[in-house]
Amino acid sequence: MPTTMTRRLVLSLCSTALAFSVAGSGLAQEAYPSKPITLIVSYAAGGGTDAIARVFAARLEKALDGRVIVENRPGAAANIGTEVAASADPDGYTLLIGNQGPMVVNPHIFKLKADPAEALDPIAMIADASLVVVVGPRLQVNSLGELIETAKSKDLVYGSAGNASASHLGALLLGQTAGIKVKHVPYKEQVRR
């Protein structure tokens, strides 16, 4: 019985060949990760974001069975590290631990080389952190209400992780809401080049 080439048979053969070529090209690709992953932290070593990044890096190494190198690139309100990540090859080997400062606030208050919303793709939320207000014992206040009342009659100074950081903006919001003014002293960031 002669075999006739029907349209259905031709389409079936073409789709089978396409499936094999796609599967074959997928098999030819090297496994990820085939080299170390760089995890950029836009803050100094030893801070909260760095601590989170190091725990994440250890878990990522275990999950991917590959090396993850944490690289601290602090400075310029986290813009330096963010710009390094934004200019890296988009090959999945450079990741950035970002937070609200460089991702959301900085594009509105600094002239940036790259807009994080355009240059970076968010892939996971790895932490959620609360802000707390603490005072030294010499101030002799025991509640937020007492602190606000004291700030209305005394000149107070507060420290933050840096300009445009969550601690800075949180204190500004508290001051605006409570009708108080306190002097901001940002932590001095060390810039490595």
pLDDT at 189: 53
**pTM as predicted:** 0.68
| Number of other CB atoms surrounding residue 51 within 10 Å | 14
* Class of the CATH domain delimited by 37-119: alpha beta
183 Cα distance to chain centroid: 28
Give the closest residue to 57 by CA, choosing from 128, 130, 129, 126.
Answer: 126
User: Where do the H-state alpha helices sit in the chain?
Assistant: 7-28, 48-64, 79-87, 100, 106-109, 116-119, 144-153, 166-178
Output the CA angle 82-88-94, nearest 5 degrees.
80
For the chain, the structural domain boundaries read 37-119, 137-186
The yes-or-no answer to whether 37-119 and 137-186 have a common fold is yes
Quick one: CA dihedral 72, 98, 86, 67, positive or negative?
Answer: positive
Q: Which residues contact 191 (CB under 8 A, 6 or more apart)?
A: 74, 75, 76, 80
- What are the respective helix, strand and coil percentages of the chain, to the nearest 5? 45, 10, 40
Query: How confident is the prediction along the chain (193 residues), in pLDDT tens digits per residue?
Result: 444 444 444 444 444 444 444 444 555 678 899 999 999 999 889 988 999 999 999 999 999 999 999 999 998 888 999 999 999 999 999 999 988 888 888 899 889 988 999 999 999 999 988 889 999 999 999 999 999 999 999 999 999 877 777 888 899 999 999 999 999 998 765 444 3
Domain at 137-186: CATH code = 3.40.190.10
